Each structure stands twice: as C-alpha cells, then as structure tokens.
Structure 1
Amino acid sequence: MTVDDRFTRGLRDAGDEEPTGVRNEIVTGPVSDWATDFSHMEPEWTNDPYPIIEDLRGRCPVAHTDRFGGGWLPTRYDDVASVAYDTERFSSRAIIMSNFRPPRDIAPIGGSPPISSDPPFHHHARKLLLPAFTKTAVARREEATRAYCHALIDALEGREEVDIARDYAQHIPVRVISDMLGFPPEDGPRFRRFIENALEGVNRMPEERMAGMNELFDYLLVQINDHVANPRDDLTTYLIEAEIFGQKLEPSHVAGTMALLLIAGIDTTWSAIGASLWHLAKTPADRERLVAEPQLLPTAMEEFLRAYAPVTMARLVKEDMQWNGVQMNADDWVLLSFPAANRDPSQFERPDEVVIDREVNRHVAFGLGIHRCVGSHLARMELRVALEVWMERIPRFSLVDPATVTWSTGQVRGPRSLPVRIG
C-alpha cells in the first residue's frame, strides 16, 4: 500500500465511522430548572451564562441534566479542577457534549489526539505537537500576524460601521492556522462551516452531523494527498512523517489532529479576540485607559481571558460512582466550565468585575491538567497582536447597538456578530 493509499483508506474509514450510544435525542428546548435540567445550548446561556452559573454555585454546585443522555455541570473552581486532573475516573475520548457518545474502544487515542486521548497515549501524542507551539516557534509568526491585522484594517478604510467579529476577529486565527498547516487561506469560509457543524450543531440528527464530518475529512484527504505529493515545511507534512513507538502515525491520528488544530485553533482564538473587543467597545473607560497606557495591555488581556474564557470541555465518566455527593453513571457527561471556575469568588476577588490591572490572576482559560491547551502561547500572541493593532489604528469605537451582538452556541463562546461604530 502506498502512502497515498494508506491515507485515503484511513481517512475514509475515519469519516464513515458511525457513532454509538444515545442518538436522535432532542437536547434543546426551555429549561425547567437549571439545577436539574441544564442545557448550554439555550439562548439564556448563550447570551449570558454567568448569572445562571452564580445561582447554581450558590444552591446546587453540581447541576444535572437528563439531556444529552445524562450529564453534570460542576460550577466551583475546586470541582472543575478535580475532574480535570482525574484521568483515572474521567475519560477524554469525547470532549463535545452531544446526543451520542463514541464507542469506548476508541480510547485511549480518541478521534482528535491529543485532546481526545487518555493516558498513557496522551503523553506521546501531545509531545509530538510541542515543538510547533513553543514561545520561540510562535514568535516567528508574530510579524506576519501583525502585517495581516494591518491589512484587515486597511480593508475597512472609509467605513463608519464595521462588524469586528466578522470583518476582523475571525480572519486572524484562520490565516495563522492555515499557514501552520499549509492550507489555502482562501478556504476560510469552509473552515467556519466545519467549526459550526462540530461545535454548534450538536442538536442535529446524527446523519446530518456525520455528513458534516465527512465533508471535513474529504477536505483533509485532499490536503494530505497534496502534501504527500508535495512535501513542505509545515505542520501537515510534519504529522505525515511523524512517528510514535517507531511507527508512522495512523491516518486517523493525523487527520484527527489536523481537525483539532483547524477547529479548536480557530474558534477559541476568534472568540477570545471578539470578546475582548466587545468589552472595550462597551466600556469606554477601559478602552481609553489602554489607549493611554498601552503597556497595560498584556495584563488586561489576561483579565479578558479570565472574565470571558471561551472554552468549556467535556469528559465522560468511566464507571458508576459516587462523586462529591452525586451519583454519576458510566458514560455520563461532565462539562468542565472553565468560565465558571474563572468566576468563583473563592479564587478571585470581585470575580464578576473586569479589572484590567488585576495583578494576581491565575485564571484557567486554557484549561487544567494534562489537557491544558498546547497552543496557549500561539493564542496569546494572536490575541495580543490583534488588540495592539486594533487599538493603535482604531482607538475610538463603540457598540452600534448592544442588542445586535450575537454569540456562538455551545462549548466555545464568543461574539459572532459585533457591529461597532468607528470614531
């Protein structure tokens, strides 16, 4: 079998694999009680989850739902951390809470290593990626990222109103990840469609979701075959040639990691950039202070990450057990709400306030435990550069109408529409 055949067969198998478990279950609809029937897919949660989280933390710190086939939502920092660090009782084989589970035998590798991998395989899968995401490697991408941010703003010349989310924030991680993987940057609209299917379409019928996944894997197959025929210095060629235990990576491993970088690497940073600009657009005192004190931006950026942490991850319970006073069953979901942990008053003073000069800020926006975001240096660079360039070029901007701001649904939360007035 040639390398090309190996990837063709491997990717077809990966894209056609049917999920097992709970299926065809409607997971959205009005919530009767957030403590016993929570759903992170509802408009109230999408628009502003923090009052709901605060209420739950006070009266029911570990909420439950029968939706999604059964799941749990810890809201205290210590409980979130406890699950994140506990790889003996919680599996990462699926990290998107939806209406079906992947089969147990997909562990320890999972569909998108290393984020879907359990120990001991996780260590080896993560180690492969570390060289591409060191501070030194990321620093080499800063100049191009800055130039691209300037080009995006150049394209807005003469406009009095712009949508920062659609016209600016979303494009930056698309370009950075495209360059890293060696994908055509003009394919950005396709990437956004893949993201929406994977992260926001969890209430669709499995057949629809699988069709979307097959479209993603078809795309990856084209890119992999092109890299097999024309190797170059990028992350895709690196993964194709990489080895674990003296063996080339399985095609499903290569494709799953590429899918992870494409989806998670774009949506999380897009959301963080958008949420930070949303805060500055609606908070003129903070915006004006950062314009006057640009050296404060790195500190302010960490506060935006704390207050508007975009990412919530899921785990699956391995076996029936009692955990912190609740009865968890095998294959129950557990949502790790890093946004909830970041607003726990036991960890942060004035947790619901955005304090842009907050000095002590041990936030967990990038997660906890072995799955802490491997791309955190890259995300921080993109966020910092995006804010620096925007504030330098457009120091005065405000929301056109707060009611027109829309947010993404699901486990990655950020503005999807963010109209602002310039000047």
Structure 2
Amino acid sequence: MTGCPARYDEELGLWAVDEPAEVREVLLDPETFRPDNAVVAHSPLSVKALRVLSGVGFALPPTLANNAGPSHRPIRAAVARFFSPARVAAVEPLTRRLVAERVDVALAGLRSGPVDLVEVIAAEPPALVVLDMLGLRDVDVPALKAWSRDSLELFWGWPDEDRQLELAHSAAEFYGWLRKRVVAARRLPGEDLFGVLVRLGLSDEEVCAVAYFLLIAGQETTTQLISTAFLRMIGRVDDAAAVVEEVLRESSSVPTWRRVTAGVTTVGDVELPAGAPILLGLTGHGGPADLAFGLGIHRCLGAGLARLEARVALETAAPLLAVVQAVEAEPPMIELLSFRAPARVLVALDPARLQPC
C-alpha cells in the first residue's frame, strides 16, 4: 500500500486503508472518522429480515463501538471495570481449568479418530470465562455461541434474503433473551452487567445494545483467535505468548474495522468525500500486534483478556499439539467482512511424532 494510503474498493463499496500509520491516525481521530457505521449491517437487510427484528424491538443505539458522543465515556467506564487488569489476572486459573478439561476430552477422542479442536477445545471456554467475569449465570452457552455466529454473519457477511431471514430469527431470539434479562435487572438490579447498566440510567435499548455485542465480541472473537493460533501451533515448539502475538500481527480474528468520514477529509494525500465508509486493515499489513485491538477511545476492552485466554489455551494444549497433524491443509474458513478464522481445525495423531527418539 506504499504510496496509496486509501483506495476505493468497488466490490466492497468501501475505502480501504491498510497502511498501519494511516490506520493509527484514523483510529485516533473519532471526530473526523466516526464510528457510526461500526455495527451497521454490511449487506442491506431485506424487508422480511427487518420485520422479524422489529418484532422484538431490536435496536442498536450508540453505546460502545458505534458511539462517539458524550454517553460513550460513562458506558465504557462502567463496562471497563469488569475487565480491569486485576480481574483479568484473577481469571487465569479458571481459564486453565476449562481448557485442560477439554484438552483431556480431545486426547481421549484422538484414539478413535480425528478431532476438531475448535468444537472440542476452543468454542466454550471463552464464553464461560466472560460470563463469569460479567457475573452472568444460567446462560445456555451453546445457544449463546449459535446466536453469536449468526449475528456476526448477519451484520458482517453476505447472506442472501433467505439466509438473512434465518439469521434475523436467531438475532431476534437473542435480543428477546437480552430484554428478559433487562426486565429482571430492573426488578432487582444486582452486580452483574445488566444491573450495572440499569443503575447507570441507560434505556432498555441501550442496555441490550451494550450486552448484545459485548456478549458476542467478548467470547466469539476469542474462540476465533484461539482457533487460528491452534492451527499455527500444530507441530511447532514455540513460546505460546509469541505465537499469540504473531497471530495478532498477521491474521487476527478481527482483521478489519469500519469508520465513516464526518466531512470532506484526507487520508495521506487522498481526499475522501463526506460520508465515505472506510475499511481499516488492522492486521496483516506489517503493523504491531496491538493494532489488532484498535486504538484510542474505542480500543477493545477485552484485549488483555483475549491475550491471556489465547496464551493459556496454547500452553495447556501444547502436549496435544505436539503429537498431532492437521487433517486438512486448508480448513474451511469463517470469511466475513471483519472476522476471519478457521471454522474447524481437524487433527489426527501423527505416528511420526508418537515414536520415541
């Protein structure tokens, strides 16, 4: 991208900005490059899909990722307390135990044939950890995982009208569940995420909007990060933390993010019109690993947690990864506008690695 700080992508209908220095400048200037389009569906939703969503009052008012207004700071501060460095450090034993239990299941399964490391190991621990940190109990984790994957596809994928309708029903079910949690919190506000947001004075729609994407981003993107790290770590004997940083630099689960220009402006020497949608390349363009989590007032609140969970997953699964081989040279991928990861990582025991030296 040297010499081309911004280029218009006809297929995506977005201005692509990949140069790390330019990406950094955009992220640090939310007044000029606003986050208003951060969670807008990339593929315009059909009337039928919109009708399903409106039936449950689905709304995503400005709260966190899509908010550059005065309400952003108090909302972010309230949520950030759940992810303080001390709380993140304290959750490591739980993370290690959850992953270790699943590694044992995977090792036992390998005696019978190939095992999918995404399904068996990477899928559920990030959800269980973030739910614990947010103080949320009695959550159907498989349902949360399905809702999360469907919502990511609905908002960042290219579903046709029939698929949109399926995904909209899933998103509506998720949103209906969130509304019930808000109602319960208003009746008896506790110290969990919903209670904190209710006491902050947010509307029902604002509480649901915060929880909707927090419960998705707080675990599904980490599952994807771990899945990519597992694929890279097969057959390697490397420091787990170093592998995590490598993945964040080169192929993070969130490779891009969106912004929109508030007025006529420039990126480098390229003039962009007002209302220009921008797609920022966060990873894979020679930038630092930390850029994968964004910068400035919208930097990912769970950056420290994601790093810890991915590191612990690699450390705990190291004995397994040392004796397996990938079944598929190129596994099927989750390929969305802003999310990318292997949909599965099938492995089998590698006879060569099981033999004594």
Query: Same fold per TM (> 0.5)?
Result: yes
TM-score by length of 1: 0.70
Q: Does 1:422 align with 2:324?
A: no
CA contact (8 A) 1:72 1:333 kept: yes
Give % identity: 26
Aligned to 1:301: 244
CA contact (8 A) 1:400 1:421 kept: yes
CA contact (8 A) 1:408 1:416 kept: no
1:319 equivalent among 249, 260, 263 = 263
Aligned to 1:406: 333
Q: Does 1:236 align with 2:197?
A: no
Aligned to 1:213: 171
Secondary structure of 1:270's match? Answer: helix
1:222 equivalent among 176, 180, 190 = 180
Distance 2:88 2:265 in 1: 42
- 1:342-369 deviation digits (Å, cap 9, x = unpaired): x33xx5xxxxxxxxxxxxx664121122
Q: Does 1:374 align with 2:301?
A: yes
372-381 or 217-226, which moves further after superposition? 217-226
CA contact (8 A) 1:406 1:418 kept: no
CA contact (8 A) 2:5 2:267 kept: no
Distance 2:176 2:16 in 1: 35
CA contact (8 A) 2:333 2:340 kept: no
- 1:71-126 deviation digits (Å, cap 9, x = unpaired): 1111211121121112121111221461349xxxxxxx963621111043322221
Aligned to 2:61: 111
Secondary structure of 1:64's match? Answer: strand
1:155 equivalent among 82, 102, 105 = 105
Distance 1:155 1:407 in 2: 25
Matches within 5 A, 1:382-397: 382-392=309-319, 394-397=321-324
Letter in 2 for 1:268: T
TM-aligned CA distance change 1:110 to 1:322, over 3 Å: farther
- 1:6-26 deviation digits (Å, cap 9, x = unpaired): xxxxxxxxxxxxxxxxxxxxx
Distance 2:262 2:169 in 1: 29
Distance 2:212 2:177 in 1: 10
- 1:205-246 deviation digits (Å, cap 9, x = unpaired): 4766654432221010122334445554422322222x2xxx
CA contact (8 A) 1:310 1:339 kept: no
CA contact (8 A) 1:401 1:419 kept: yes
TM-aligned CA distance change 1:301 to 1:209, over 3 Å: closer
Q: Does 1:131 align with 2:81?
A: yes
Gaps of 5+ in 1: 1-56, 102-108, 291-295, 348-360
Gaps of 5+ in 2: 46-58, 351-357
CA RMSD of aligned residues (A): 2.7
Q: Does 1:262 align with 2:215?
A: yes
Distance 2:9 2:289 in 1: 30
Letter in 1 for 2:322: P
Structure 1 position 253, deviation (Å): 1.7
TM-aligned CA distance change 1:99 to 1:270, over 3 Å: same
1:189 equivalent among 142, 145, 152 = 142
TM-score by length of 2: 0.81
Structure 1 position 381, deviation (Å): 1.7
TM-aligned CA distance change 1:313 to 1:404, over 3 Å: closer
TM-aligned CA distance change 1:133 to 1:337, over 3 Å: same
Number of equivalences: 327
